[in-house]
Structure 1
Amino acid sequence: MSMAASGASPIEPQATTSQRQRWLFGVAMMGVTMPGQVFGVSLLFFYTDVKHLPPAWAALALTIYAFYNAVNNPLIGYWQDRTRFRLGRRIPWLRYGAFPFMIMFAFLWLAPFDGATQPYALLAYFVVVIVVYDAINSAVGNAYYALLPEMFVNYRERTDVAAKMMIFLTVALLLGVALPPVIADRLGWGLMGILFAGVGLVAILIGQSGMAETGVAVEPEMTFLQALKHIIANRSFMTLTVAQTLRFVTTNSMATGMLFFVKYTLKIDGAQTGLILATAFIVSALMLYPWRQLVANRFEPRVTALLAYAVVALGMLPLWFVNDLRGMLVAATFIGVGFAGIFLMDNILLSDVIDEDEEWTGARREGMYFGMNGMVITLSTAIVSVVFGAVAQIYGYDSTLAEQPASVAQGFRIFMTFLPFAGCTGAFLVLQFYPLHGEKLVEMRRKLVQMRKLR
């Protein structure tokens, strides 16, 4: 479907934000997402390989975290939709929640126990800190993402700010993936956590200075269960969320497995992990505007996302054959091209779903929708954790051993190849059933513009 049928058409509302606001909104993206990048790439490695927590126990803790996160996301979103502060529904969470968010992030890396001598104490510490961290993380992150469809009201405005967000996401990825092992080697994991917490805090506080809430639409009087039932009945939302959950299986498995794949399968210096991931992220950043100009501005969101899923799925296959750094860098380049399209479209697709809900109900319920989306997507963490634990056990990985058995190399190759490929392939297939495209998308946008004019 071309842009003539679906993109930034004359029926859409006029943009209401300045370039300065869009850049500042992007800056906040770095602060909101960087802790998650460090978390996703280094946390499992830190607690198993550094702190010697048995892999099965670590997988159990992350599975508990995933299900806890799945419950708290929609509850927090529902609460934020219905809460009224002087500064609005979202901005206070960013302004006053950023500091405790970063404090708890730092505590993740300050574990005082060692799994070799105090495994139960380390497990208890891990679970308690991760639960508190996640509650605050969900509140801050949900408030940030919920502002996107409210502040940025048409497709071109959203793709513009999404590209800026992804630039700063790329910075967060580069810093969060490449630097933690380097800083930890020199200064220790605890100081690494404190440094990243400080950078994240500054980014959020700078970014929120350019944010604004419209305050035009209110949440209808629904109980939590009524709101939940209404959202689950939304076919556009459920189809998109299942697809995004599968795509997060891809990104989470890559983030979780990369250090292990580089160290035990490729048998190259673990410091090269940063170079590999940096290659993918830099390529992603460089491809953002080509994706926006050549694909997103010509085709509707669904088509753009389908193309991106296909590119990433195909990019996973060479990992089965890669045996050295050069081959890994080539594969990372190809994967990075596809990730640019995925990162660009994720929140734009969900913003369309939220617009559709407003057209149905007359209310803006970004918090509930992003919370529910986060709930289901977080299940990808449980999937990846369970598969990681199974692969580690089947192929003999033991964090207490000085030298791993030869079978471990094959296990991590399987983990890094087949799980990411299955995730993006599944996302591509599920998105075929996403109904909000073509004439239906055009008609929804037309009705929404007319409805807003009558307010």
Structure 2
Amino acid sequence: MTATDSAGLPPRPPINFKTKALYGLGASASIIKQRGITTFLLLFYNQVVGLPPAMVSTAIMLALVFDAFVDPLVGQISDNTRSRWGRRHPFMYAAALPVSVAFYLIWNPPIGWEHEALFGYMLVCLLTIRLFDTFFELPSSALLAELTSDYNERTSIIAIRSFCGVAGGLIMQLLVYQVFLKKNPDGTGGLLERSGWEVYSIVGAITIFTIILISSSATHHQIPYLRKAPTRKITIPAMLREVGATLNNRSFVVLAISGMFMNVSLGLKTALELYFNLYFWGLTQGQLAIMTVTGVLASIIGVTLAPIIAGKIGKRYAAITMFFGAVIALLLPIGLRIIGVMPANGTNLLFGILILDFMANGIMAIMTGVMLQSMIADVVEDSEVKTGRRSEGLLFSADNLFKKIVSGVGVGVSGVLLTYVAFPQGAKPGAVDPDLLRNLALIYLPTIGAFYAVAISCLFLYKIDKSVHEENLRILQEGVLDARTTDAQIEAASPAATGPAGDLSPVTPRP
């Protein structure tokens, strides 16, 4: 008997590679949007449009915080939605047009507006993008735990999804460097040329729209085999009790805390990455394009190795090992430059070292991401054993909530750092004071390193390995709850919780 059968659903046919690949393709839409905002938006609005960096980073931070609080709401509503298209697909289809239009608009702000008006315009576009991207990405991510309960197959599907996301984002970034905003021999064009951003916005918007529809349609035939939302009335207090009971899971808590510290660093890293590449290392756009291609190759290697390594040593230790290696690869070149042992800018030796380091970081980073997403998926059954409810959307959204709140802090800090070191507006690569760049690096390294160290340490407390996961599946298949049933579940099933008003139907363990 399978877990799916025990839930009263028809036997699921095998999920073929085409379905897995097109499901995974959906990650490209979110990563194209995310990479555009995190990599280019600060540079675009600061150096091209002319907004102060602190103002730009503040708008990005506010949008991330907004998104963080929207995520659990969408996740909980998605978990409890009943429709002929199931719990997830109505939201996924609804996201396609609004997020694409908002993506186009954010790269085409009005000319001649005052700073305050441009700030408001950018913020509205960001909030719209974040809201409707959540409508797609959260339900799509939550589908993973429903498509398969197999411990290793989850890792392989996430590997495909991670590759599609990374490859899609890097390919679009490559097009920015080499097509939309290519630096011409006569000095025209480049990242500071405003007209190129319009072409990028059109192609990006159409790509996002198309990918969302294709990916959503690819899993549409799985709707009859997906979990159905329970038929019950639920009030806000009852919903909050359910949220608290679901999130009161040790393994989830340590993953969430790790993710918070990790995403502070990621927000800071991503916002300043282009500044370091252009000004600190003096790379050309052609070299950035080569690094982007290298990133695609690294993602292929990473997603290929991730299921193999996870199968041999387990997801937790694989995540810890790869995470540590990725951080070392990220920080080592900057540290070596500070102590004066890196080759000079503009030399082939320097670029060769950076390429090798970039590939090593990319391979280990994507492997880490695959492991962490698969570990979150394994919390779903662990939580169901404890609460009697399937809460994929809530768990993935809550994980995103904590990450996005602090990621906004990281982006905000990047603007503060640029302001603190008095980074010049309209700066040309090679013309920025080396002492200014050194000061930026000296602040950047210990800050980001400390946050990454905490994130890695938290992973040692995660407790769901393959044996625990298989035991959870056994319990659910047999329809038996063990002694780990929580007080919150008992309370939810009690007359006091349901009451004469019928605000919450009794929650029974779902086999």
What is the TM-score of this pair, normalised by structure 1? 0.89
Question: 1:431 corresponds to which residue?
Answer: 459
Question: 1:155 corresponds to which residue?
Answer: 151
- Does the 8 Å contact 1:42/1:180 carry over to 2? no
Map 1:323-334 onto structure 2 (within 5 A): 323=345, 324-334=350-360
- Which of 157, 161, 168 in structure 2 is aligned with 1:165? 161
Distance in structure 2 (CA, Å) of the matches to 1:243 and 1:278: 30
SS in 1 for 2:109: coil
- Which of 368, 380, 384 in structure 2 is aligned with 1:354? 380
Question: 2:256 corresponds to which residue?
Answer: 241
* Structure 2 unaligned regions, length at least 5: 1-10, 183-188, 190-194, 337-341, 481-508
* Structure 1 unaligned regions, length at least 5: 1-12
- Does the 8 Å contact 1:95/1:205 carry over to 2? yes
Distance in structure 2 (CA, Å) of the matches to 1:122 and 1:363: 45
Question: Would you say 1:184 and 2:181 are equivalent positions?
Answer: yes
Question: 1:218 corresponds to which residue?
Answer: 229
Distance in structure 2 (CA, Å) of the matches to 1:414 and 1:281: 30
Question: 1:57 corresponds to which residue?
Answer: 55
Question: 1:44 corresponds to which residue?
Answer: 42
- Does the 8 Å contact 2:148/2:154 carry over to 1? yes
Greater displacement, 315-324 / 398-407: 398-407
Give the superposition deviation at 1:256: 1.6
Distance in structure 2 (CA, Å) of the matches to 1:179 and 1:49: 20
Map 1:306-317 onto structure 2 (within 5 A): 306-317=320-331
Q: Which amino acid counterpart does residue 206 of structure 1 have in structure 2?
A: I
Give the superposition deviation at 1:377: 0.6
SS in 1 for 2:95: helix
Question: 1:337 corresponds to which residue?
Answer: 363
Greater displacement, 408-417 / 236-245: 408-417
Distance in structure 2 (CA, Å) of the matches to 1:361 and 1:15: 28
Question: 2:214 corresponds to which residue?
Answer: 206
Q: Which amino acid counterpart does residue 52 of structure 1 have in structure 2?
A: G
- Does the 8 Å contact 1:296/1:304 carry over to 2? yes
CA change 1:14–1:292 in 2 (3 A) is: farther
Question: 1:3 corresponds to which residue?
Answer: none
Greater displacement, 250-259 / 23-32: 250-259
Give the superposition deviation at 1:436: 2.5
SS in 2 for 1:363: coil
Map 1:240-279 onto structure 2 (within 5 A): 240-279=255-294
What are the Cα deviations for residues 309-343 of structure 1, in whole angstroms up to 9, with x where unaligned?
11112212322225532222121022122113112
Q: Which amino acid counterpart does residue 443 of structure 1 have in structure 2?
A: E
Question: 1:9 corresponds to which residue?
Answer: none
CA change 1:46–1:133 in 2 (3 A) is: same
- Which of 277, 281, 299 in structure 1 is aligned with 2:313? 299
Give the superposition deviation at 1:166: 2.2
Question: 1:10 corresponds to which residue?
Answer: none
- Does the 8 Å contact 2:295/2:359 carry over to 1? yes
Give the superposition deviation at 1:205: 1.7
- Does the 8 Å contact 2:298/2:363 carry over to 1? yes
Give the superposition deviation at 1:176: 3.3
Identical columns (%): 21
Q: Which amino acid counterpart does residue 259 of structure 2 have in structure 1?
A: Q
Question: Would you say 1:443 and 2:451 are equivalent positions?
Answer: no
Q: Which amino acid counterpart does residue 302 of structure 1 have in structure 2?
A: R
Distance in structure 1 (CA, Å) of the matches to 2:92 and 2:47: 34
CA change 1:60–1:375 in 2 (3 A) is: same
Question: 1:105 corresponds to which residue?
Answer: 103
Q: Which amino acid counterpart does residue 271 of structure 2 have in structure 1?
A: T
Distance in structure 2 (CA, Å) of the matches to 1:110 and 1:358: 46
Distance in structure 1 (CA, Å) of the matches to 2:169 and 2:114: 33
Q: Which amino acid counterpart does residue 88 of structure 1 have in structure 2?
A: G
Distance in structure 2 (CA, Å) of the matches to 1:248 and 1:401: 28
CA change 1:430–1:44 in 2 (3 A) is: same
CA change 1:18–1:419 in 2 (3 A) is: farther
Question: 1:71 corresponds to which residue?
Answer: 69
Distance in structure 2 (CA, Å) of the matches to 1:333 and 1:43: 24
- Does the 8 Å contact 2:167/2:299 carry over to 1? no
What are the Cα deviations for residues 79-114 of structure 1, in whole angstroms up to 9, with x where unaligned?
111222211111122223212111111111111146
Give the superposition deviation at 1:130: 0.8
Distance in structure 1 (CA, Å) of the matches to 2:165 and 2:440: 27
Greater displacement, 393-402 / 328-337: 393-402
- Which of 82, 86, 89 in structure 1 is aligned with 2:87? 89
- Does the 8 Å contact 1:253/1:415 carry over to 2? no
- Does the 8 Å contact 2:267/2:408 carry over to 1? no
SS in 1 for 2:465: coil
Q: Which amino acid counterpart does residue 374 of structure 1 have in structure 2?
A: N
Question: 1:8 corresponds to which residue?
Answer: none
CA change 1:250–1:270 in 2 (3 A) is: farther
CA change 1:78–1:454 in 2 (3 A) is: closer
Q: Which amino acid counterpart does residue 57 of structure 1 have in structure 2?
A: M
Q: Which amino acid counterpart does residue 173 of structure 2 have in structure 1?
A: V
> Larger Rg: 1 or 2?
2
Distance in structure 1 (CA, Å) of the matches to 2:458 and 2:99: 34
Count of residues in correspondence between the two structures: 440
What are the Cα deviations for residues 146-167 of structure 1, in whole angstroms up to 9, with x where unaligned?
1111112211221221121122
Distance in structure 2 (CA, Å) of the matches to 1:404 and 1:122: 27
Structure number with greater CO (CA < 8 Å, separation at least 6) is: 1
Q: Which amino acid counterpart does residue 72 of structure 1 have in structure 2?
A: V
Distance in structure 2 (CA, Å) of the matches to 1:243 and 1:21: 31
Distance in structure 1 (CA, Å) of the matches to 2:366 and 2:171: 18
Distance in structure 1 (CA, Å) of the matches to 2:402 and 2:211: 27
Give the superposition deviation at 1:351: 0.6
Distance in structure 2 (CA, Å) of the matches to 1:379 and 1:170: 22
What are the Cα deviations for residues 250-279 of structure 1, in whole angstroms up to 9, with x where unaligned?
433332212100121112324433332432
- Does the 8 Å contact 1:55/1:398 carry over to 2? no
Question: Would you say 1:140 and 2:136 are equivalent positions?
Answer: yes
Give the superposition deviation at 1:414: 4.0
- Does the 8 Å contact 2:171/2:292 carry over to 1? no
Map 1:376-387 onto structure 2 (within 5 A): 376-387=402-413
